[in-house]
C-alpha cells in the first residue's frame, strides 16, 4: 500500500505540470467561446432578427442565467457521492459543444427566404440549444472547478491565475474581433453570418472538451469538491441575518438593472440609426470594458474590500442607463447636429454604454462571491449562496418584463425605470455591512470561480 500511494503521489505531481498548461488553455478557449455567444447581445439580437416580440428577445438572457443555475442543483448532489469529476466535466463540455454545433448546422442550412414565411422552427431551435447549453454549463461548473483546483499545486496558484487572466483576456479580445468580422460583413447575409459564428464557437467548445479529456485527474479530487450540506438551523440563521438580507436586496436591485442589456443594441438601431453591422464594434467595446477594468477592480478590492467594489459597480451600472437616456436628446441639439452631422460619430459615442456595462459586470463578477463569503460563516455558506441564486433565477427574467415595457410604453420608459432601480441599488449599496478584504486570500487559497464573459448571474 505505501508503494502504491507513493506511485500515485508521483503521478499526481507529474500530471499537475501538464494540467497547469491544459487548465489555462481550457479556461481561455472557453472564455473565447462565451464571448461569441453573449446572450444579452449576440444571441438576443439574433432572435431579434427573427421575431418582433421584445418579450421573446428578453427571454434569451433569462434562459441563459436561469437554466445555468438550475443545472447546478444536481451537480451539488453528485458532489457528495462521486470521486472522479473529470467524466462529469468532460460530459458537460461535450454537451455544450453539441448544443451549439446543432445550432450552427441548423442556422447555416436555413433558407433566408423561408424565414419570411415562418421563423418559428429556428427560434425554437435557438431556445432548445440554449437550454441544453446552459444546463450543461451549470451542471459541469462544480466538477470543472474541482478538477481545476485539484490540478494546480497551491504554491503555483498565483502564477496560474495570472496566466489564466492574461490568456483569457487575449483570446476574448480575439473572439470579439472574430464577431466583428463575421457580423460586420454585410456580404455574408443573415442567417449565414451567425451560422459561421456558431461554427467558430463550436470549434472552441470542442477544443475545451478535448483538453478536459486530456487532463490527468489527481486521486484526491473528491475533497476539493466537497460541498457540505448546511445544518437545519442555518436556514433560520440566514433569514435572521439582517446583514445578508441587506445584501440580498442590493443584489436584486443591481441585477434587475440588467433588464436593459438585450435592448441596448436595438435601441441604437431604432433611435440612433446604427447599422446592423455595428454589433461587432459594440461587442469589442464590451469585452474591452471587462478586460481594461479588471486590474482596477482587483486594486479596489484589495485596497477597500468587496463592499466598496460592489458599491462602485452599482454606480458604474447606473451610467449605462444615463447614457442611453441622454443620447437622443443630445443628438437633437442644434450645435451637436452641426458638429456631428454623420450618424457614425453618434453611434460610436453610444458604444461607451457597452464599455460601461462590461466594466460593471467585471466588478460584479469579482465582488459578489467575495462579499458573501466574508459575510456568511463557512459551514452555512452553501445556504447563503443557495438562497441568493434561487432569488436571482427569478430576477433573471427581468429582461422579459423589460420587453413588455418597451412594447407598451417605449424604450425611454424602460431606461427610466432601470435608472430609478439603479439609483435605488446605489443607495442600497450604502447599507451593506463592512467586511474585510478577500483579494489576497482569494488568490492564495485557490478560489476557482471562472469568469463568465459579460454575464452577471448567480453567485
pLDDT mean for each 10 residues of the chain (459 residues) = 46 63 92 95 95 96 91 65 76 96 95 83 96 93 80 78 92 96 83 95 97 79 51 69 92 95 94 89 95 94 92 95 85 68 80 95 92 84 83 92 96 94 95 71 44 49
CA distances (Å), 112 to each of 192, 195, 204, 297, 455, in order?
8, 12, 26, 44, 30
Q: Do domains 1-227 and 231-454 have the same CATH topology?
A: yes
Q: Which residue has the cell 457597452?
A: 354
Annotated domain spans of the chain = 1-227, 231-454
Question: Which of 51, 73, 98 is CA-nearest to residue 407?
Answer: 51
User: If 0-12 CB within 10 Å is exposed, 13-18 middle and 19+ buried, where does residue 155 land?
Assistant: exposed
Question: Which of 72, 108, 109 is CA-nearest to residue 92?
Answer: 72
Note whether 200 and 100 are within 8 A (CB). no
C-alpha cell belonging to residue 88: 462529469
pLDDT confidence of residue 377: 78
pLDDT confidence of residue 10: 47
pLDDT confidence of residue 223: 46
Class of domain 231-454: mainly alpha
CA distances (Å), 239 to each of 5, 233, 368, 372, 381, in order?
46, 10, 19, 14, 13
Note whether 223 and 138 are within 8 A (CB). no
Q: Where are the alpha helices (DSSP H) in 152-191?
A: 157-183
Q: Does domain 1-227 have CATH number 2.40.10.10?
A: no
In this structure, how many other beta carbons lie within 10 angstroms of the beta carbon of residue 242?
10
C-alpha cell belonging to residue 350: 453610444
Amino acid at each position: 500500500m505505501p508503494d502504491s500511494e507513493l506511485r500515485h503521489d508521483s503521478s499526481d505531481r507529474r500530471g499537475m505540470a501538464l494540467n497547469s498548461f491544459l487548465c489555462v488553455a481550457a479556461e481561455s478557449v472557453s472564455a473565447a467561446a462565451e464571448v461569441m455567444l453573449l446572450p444579452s447581445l449576440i444571441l438576443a439580437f439574433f432572435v431579434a432578427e427573427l421575431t418582433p416580440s421584445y418579450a421573446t428577445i428578453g427571454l434569451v438572457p433569462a434562459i441563459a442565467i436561469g437554466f445555468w443555475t438550475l443545472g447546478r442543483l444536481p451537480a451539488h448532489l453528485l458532489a457528495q457521492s462521486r470521486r472522479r469529476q473529470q467524466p462529469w466535466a468532460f460530459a458537460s463540455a461535450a454537451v455544450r459543444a453539441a448544443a451549439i454545433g446543432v445550432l450552427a448546422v441548423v442556422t447555416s442550412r436555413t433558407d433566408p427566404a423561408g424565414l419570411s414565411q415562418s421563423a418559428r422552427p429556428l427560434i425554437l431551435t435557438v431556445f432548445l440549444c440554449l437550454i441544453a447549453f446552459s444546463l450543461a454549463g451549470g451542471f459541469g461548473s462544480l466538477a470543472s472547478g474541482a478538477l481545476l483546483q485539484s490540478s494546480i499545486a497551491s504554491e503555483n496558484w498565483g502564477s496560474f491565475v495570472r496566466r489564466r487572466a492574461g490568456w483569457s483576456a487575449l483570446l476574448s479580445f480575439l473572439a470579439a474581433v472574430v464577431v466583428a468580422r463575421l457580423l460586420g460583413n454585410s456580404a455574408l447575409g443573415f442567417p449565414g453570418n451567425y451560422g459561421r459564428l456558431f461554427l467558430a464557437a463550436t470549434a472552441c467548445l470542442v477544443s475545451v472538451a478535448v483538453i478536459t479529456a486530456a487532463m490527468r485527474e489527481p486521486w484526491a479530487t473528491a475533497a476539493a469538491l466537497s460541498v457540505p450540506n448546511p445544518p437545519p438551523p442555518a436556514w433560520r440563521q440566514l433569514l435572521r441575518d439582517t446583514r445578508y438580507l441587506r445584501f440580498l436586496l442590493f443584489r436584486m436591485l443591481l441585477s434587475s438593472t440588467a433588464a436593459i442589456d438585450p435592448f441596448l443594441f436595438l435601441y441604437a438601431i431604432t433611435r440612433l440609426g446604427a447599422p446592423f453591422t455595428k454589433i461587432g464594434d459594440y461587442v469589442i467595446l464590451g469585452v474591452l470594458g471587462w478586460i481594461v477594468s479588471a486590474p482596477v477592480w482587483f486594486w479596489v478590492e484589495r485596497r477597500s474590500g468587496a463592499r466598496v467594489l460592489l458599491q462602485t459597480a452599482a454606480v458604474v451600472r447606473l451610467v449605462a442607463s444615463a447614457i442611453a437616456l441622454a443620447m437622443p436628446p443630445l443628438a437633437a441639439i442644434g450645435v451637436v447636429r452641426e458638429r456631428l452631422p454623420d450618424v457614425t460619430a453618434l453611434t460610436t459615442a453610444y458604444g461607451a454604454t457597452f464599455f460601461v456595462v462590461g466594466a460593471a459586470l467585471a466588478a460584479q463578477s469579482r465582488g459578489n462571491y467575495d462579499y458573501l463569503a466574508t459575510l456568511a460563516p463557512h459551514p452555512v455558506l452553501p445556504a447563503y449562496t443557495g438562497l441568493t441564486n434561487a432569488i436571482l433565477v427569478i430576477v433573471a427574467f427581468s429582461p422579459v418584463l423589460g420587453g413588455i415595457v418597451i412594447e407598451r410604453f417605449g424604450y425611454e420608459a424602460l431606461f427610466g425605470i432601470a435608472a430609478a432601480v439603479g439609483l435605488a441599488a446605489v443607495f442600497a449599496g450604502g447599507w451593506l455591512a463592512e467586511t474585510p478584504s478577500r483579494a489576497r486570500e482569494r488568490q492564495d487559497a485557490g478560489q476557482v470561480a471562472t469568469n463568465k464573459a459579460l454575464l452577471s448571474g448567480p453567485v
